[in-house]
Structure 1
Amino acid sequence: MAFGSFDNKSSSHAVSEINMVPLIDVMLVLLVIFIITAPLLSHSIKINVPQASSEPVQQDPKVIDFAVDAEGQLFWNEQPVTLDQLPVLMAAEAGTDPQPELRIRADVDTRYEVLAQVMSAARRSGLKRIGFVTRPAPSESRSPAAAGVD
């Protein structure tokens, strides 16, 4: 493999091979740098940290079960309430720590207007955690028609 010669008789064509020597030199220099700096990075300083003997406080988050039936009747933890009582109840719960989660269960035939009023009252009172309780739909694979059974 001749890269060049002083012979003018040979045809001058471009060398199509990549010179790997500079790349290998750079890689070896980087390897040496990492070998030298790696032990310095794992050096640690011993510090005496104060010890505390307290245990973490276990707080169980409270859950408010709110239900709306098909007729639009409201239930706060299974107790019937009116729409006018909701802001007072929600404001009292919003001031507690940790703030409870409001879980709304609504009948399929419940009017959206009632749910919108409940969610609006919850936001105005300061409740931040609002969720909906749903029931999973029956899967099609369980029905006899989907399984091909007549």
Structure 2
Amino acid sequence: MAMSGGTEDGEPMGEMNTTPLIDVMLVLLIMFIITIPIQTHAVKVDLPQDSSTNRPQEVDPVKNKIVIDPQGNLSWNGAPVNEVTLTQYLDQTAQMSPQPELHFQPDAEAKYDRVDQVLAIIKRANVTKLGFIGNEQYREF
């Protein structure tokens, strides 16, 4: 760190010493860089399912029903499904004209997180006719 002195005749220095300011700025910059969270990049890929063992059930052109049981398992019109198959069914319903109704019935004991995940899948599929059924089970007496 170089410091500038006054002139030869003993007069005081007339300029501000910026070296401490630069040191503080460098320390703050390093602290800022250290506190930035590491960006993780993940790509989720839905791999195709074996169609010989998992024959898709036909989508009803009038109404379809999604049920979530207390363990968080999904069923589509009474048949158990996973998220990938549910997404495929919802994409089929979104392509139909007119779009069939979708009835959504989560069990009262189902975890909210699971219900929220399924609602996000439904929203991403651009379903416009969605109805919640079985809400009377949540009524307090």
**TM-score normalised by L of structure 2:** 0.51
1:132 corresponding residue in structure 2 = 132
1:112 corresponding residue in structure 2 = 112
**Structure 2 unmatched ranges of 5 or more:** 1-60
1:18 corresponding residue in structure 2 = none
Q: How does 1:52-71 map to 2 (within 5 A)?
A: 62-71=62-71
1:99 corresponding residue in structure 2 = 99
CA distance in 1, matches of 2:106, 2:88: 21
The number of equivalent residue pairs is 80
CA apart distance, 1:124: 1.1
1:83 corresponding residue in structure 2 = 83
Counterpart of 1:136 in 2: which secondary structure? helix
**TM-score normalised by L of structure 1:** 0.48
Counterpart of 2:84 in 1: which secondary structure? coil
CA distance in 2, matches of 1:121, 1:97: 20
- Residue type of the alignment partner of 2:120: S
Q: 1:109 to 1:91 in 2, by over 3 A?
A: same
CA apart distance, 1:84: 2.3
CA distance in 2, matches of 1:139, 1:112: 18
- Residue type of the alignment partner of 1:69: D
CA apart distance, 1:135: 5.1
**Structure 1 unmatched ranges of 5 or more:** 1-60, 141-150
- Residue type of the alignment partner of 2:112: Y
- Residue type of the alignment partner of 2:132: F
Q: 1:62 to 1:139 in 2, by over 3 A?
A: same
1:123 corresponding residue in structure 2 = 123
CA distance in 2, matches of 1:96, 1:79: 21
CA distance in 2, matches of 1:126, 1:135: 23
Q: 1:135 to 1:121 in 2, by over 3 A?
A: closer
CA distance in 2, matches of 1:101, 1:120: 17
Q: Identity, % of aligned pairs?
A: 28
